[in-house]
Amino acid sequence: MTKCPFSFLRLACLSWCVSQFVSLSGFSQSKTSDITPYERNTNQTATYTQIISWYQQLDRQYEQCKLIEIGKTDIGKPLHLVLLASDKQFVARPDRVTLLINNGIHPGEPEGIDACMMLARDLLKANKLPKNVLIAIVPVYNVGGSLNRGISRVNQNGPESYGFRGNARNLNLNRDFIKAEAENTRAFQAMYQSLKPHVFVDNHTSDGADYQHVLTYFATQKDKLQPIVSGYMTQRFQPELDKMLTEKGFPSAPYVNHAGDTPESGLVGYNDTPRYSTGYAALFNCFGFTLETHMWKPYPARVKASYVFDEAVMQLCEREAQKILANKQRANEAVRQQKTFPLGYKLDRSKSDSVTFLGYAAMYKPSEVSGLKRLYYDRTKPFTKRVPYWNNFSIDTQVDKPRAYVIPQAWQEVIGEIKRNGVAVKTLPKDTLMTVSAYYITDYKSPQRPYEGHYLHSGVKVRTETQRIQFYKGDYLVYTNQSANRYIVETLEPQGVDSFFAWNFFDSILDQKEYFSNYIFEDTAAELIKNDPSLRKQLEEKRATDKAFAENADAQLDFIYRQTPYYEKTHNRYPAYRLN
């Protein structure tokens, strides 16, 4: 029986161990082979069953490898984690860097799955595991998508078949790291908070333009990352990583998100907000890389590139361990003390750098389908050029943290999210009347159609009121003196781009519950403006400046109703209150 490495999660451990027993019996003990399914046929990627059997075999063969279950996935099958530790101590420790590598979040982009199977074997077989690094590998994250195998990526050059992007409930798991609707995400978050990784890699495959690079990647957006960690990542880790990748035959470029029609127009940095894996990691001062191998290169070249990338990151973690550990500790302390928190960023187009780009000439010719002009990349015309790179983001909105947020226990879903993400909460020991600062949501936009199952709010505007509010025994206090402060503030401030408000956790406050009957309220309203000259003046002023309002009797009654004590205080009042 595999021992759960997170000893402080005893309950979870018990359930993992129990479910592990169930799962082990579910896989046939395939014949021992040293060769992965991909190595037997390099246009094949391992199936879910093959992936898990492979790691079960490594777990049996090597004491330095542990395969554990860390929870369920939406399809009902467990989520697995592989731990590799040279000293067989499968725990996160303050004297050792934890490197987390995620595979198959988009199972149609499976290079990392096959690369990590080989990398784990090679490290174990040669007894070459790093001394200063605990390696944690999610063998395949989107299990439901992995089981839904077929061909769904028309612009991809192999493998022969592969899993699907959506998970068992058709969610893109790489947008789920805040709303955490998938069981996969919940299991991931609990594991993440136990391991608290320092460095994170998410393995993907690109879409889009054609160019010479087999390997591109985006690092956690530097301006969003805590400055100590960001400075280290951009000035030390990335230059070293890029040098190693070039030496190993895979010169990299930033993820190709081009400014104009083609990459020659310049590249634009990726704003990986907290809904993305690296954006989520950034909330906890962990820097990360989303590797994107080029979809139109032969599959073996892409697998090799993923292997080289993951191995290089691991080697750098080993070499730089002391600096990485010290930086994260300093960053955590700085975040505990930090007063002002950005809630959103926008691209600053006034400043650009440049990068070397290995492209193919972009050309145009008439389309055989439409007869209209079509784009193509001419592989006989490779070029090496410096192209502009816009990767500076400036703060859009920011806020001073309160001393604590007070959240009534009615909002259990939000409390559940907060607790799972390593945030310490306290509860009120008795019913308490408190003076707090309350937000009223005064405006927001929502799309016409759902995005990832939600009508995601944006452009949120608020006004603030100081109020005396009755709270009850068991309501929650979330203090902002924690290393998880960024998670706390960015999810609980309604203007956060990926806040719980944005993701519809608080939509019920946007409903008005009581109204008035016009014909009865007409007389009350008339009485009110007779006795209140200032209210009458406000009404007249609004009529004078707003023609539609002047012609709408109902709107005028509503205008008066909202000034009366009858109008409910809770309408649009945001229920994570600020205690200052």
- Which residues bind to Zn ion, rule: CB under 5 A? 106, 109, 204
Tokens representing 333 are: 């302390």
Q: Which is nearer to Zn ion, 106 or 275 (CB)?
A: 106
The dihedral region occupied by 81, where left means phi > 0, alpha psi between -120 and 50, and beta the remainder, is beta
Q: Which is nearer to Zn ion, 174 or 421 (CB)?
A: 174
Per DSSP, the chain holds a count of helices (H) and strands (E) of 17, 19
Residue with tokens 């600020």: 578
The answer for residues whose C-beta is within 8 angstroms of residue 562's C-beta and 6 or more apart is none
Q: Which is nearer to Zn ion, 296 or 500 (CB)?
A: 296
Q: Which is nearer to Zn ion, 147 or 489 (CB)?
A: 147
Q: How far is the CB of 106 from Zn ion (least distance, A)?
A: 4
Rounded Cα gap, residues 204 and 261, in angstroms: 23
Coil vs helix vs strand at 79: strand
**CA distances, 225 to each of 130, 156, 198, 550 (Å):** 26, 32, 13, 50
Pairing assessment for the beta strands 432-445 and 573-579 based on DSSP bridges: antiparallel
Q: How far is the CB of 120 from Zn ion (least distance, A)?
A: 22
Q: Which is nearer to Zn ion, 198 or 258 (CB)?
A: 258
Q: Which is nearer to Zn ion, 204 or 222 (CB)?
A: 204
Peptide bond into 263 cis (omega under 30): no
Q: How far is the CB of 360 from Zn ion (least distance, A)?
A: 22
The answer for residues whose C-beta is within 8 angstroms of residue 15's C-beta and 6 or more apart is none
Q: Which residues are 65's β-sheet partners? A: 84
Rounded Cα gap, residues 275 and 175, in angstroms: 5
Q: How far is the CB of 172 from Zn ion (least distance, A)?
A: 9
Sign of CA dihedral 426, 431, 434, 436: positive
Q: Which is nearer to Zn ion, 84 or 113 (CB)?
A: 113
Coil vs helix vs strand at 205: strand
Q: How far is the CB of 362 from Zn ion (least distance, A)?
A: 24
| Helix orientation angle between 111-125 and 48-61, rounded to the nearest 10 degrees | 10
Rounded Cα gap, residues 439 and 234, in angstroms: 37
Q: How far is the CB of 194 from Zn ion (least distance, A)?
A: 25
Q: Which of 217, 212, 344, 202 is nearest to 270 (CA)?
A: 217
Q: How far is the CB of 575 from Zn ion (least distance, A)?
A: 35
Rounded Cα gap, residues 401 and 14, in angstroms: 38
Tokens representing 315 are: 């080697």
Q: How far is the CB of 325 from Zn ion (least distance, A)?
A: 30
Q: How far is the CB of 216 from Zn ion (least distance, A)?
A: 12
CA angle 235, 253, 247 (to 5 degrees): 75
Is there a contact between 271 and 282 (Cβ–Cβ < 8 Å)?
A: no
Q: How far is the CB of 104 from Zn ion (least distance, A)?
A: 10
Q: Which is nearer to Zn ion, 20 or 146 (CB)?
A: 146
Q: Which is nearer to Zn ion, 141 or 471 (CB)?
A: 141
Q: Which is nearer to Zn ion, 109 or 176 (CB)?
A: 109
Is there a contact between 535 and 560 (Cβ–Cβ < 8 Å)?
A: yes
| Helix orientation angle between 533-545 and 518-531, rounded to the nearest 10 degrees | 110
The CA R_g of the chain, rounded to the nearest whole Å, is 27
Q: How far is the CB of 299 from Zn ion (least distance, A)?
A: 16
Q: Which is nearer to Zn ion, 204 or 213 (CB)?
A: 204
Q: How far is the CB of 281 from Zn ion (least distance, A)?
A: 16
Rounded Cα gap, residues 472 and 409, in angstroms: 8
Q: Which is nearer to Zn ion, 264 or 272 (CB)?
A: 272
Q: Which is nearer to Zn ion, 69 or 292 (CB)?
A: 292
Rounded Cα gap, residues 274 and 409, in angstroms: 25
Q: How far is the CB of 179 from Zn ion (least distance, A)?
A: 18
- The secondary element (H helix, E strand) that includes residue 232 is helix 227-232
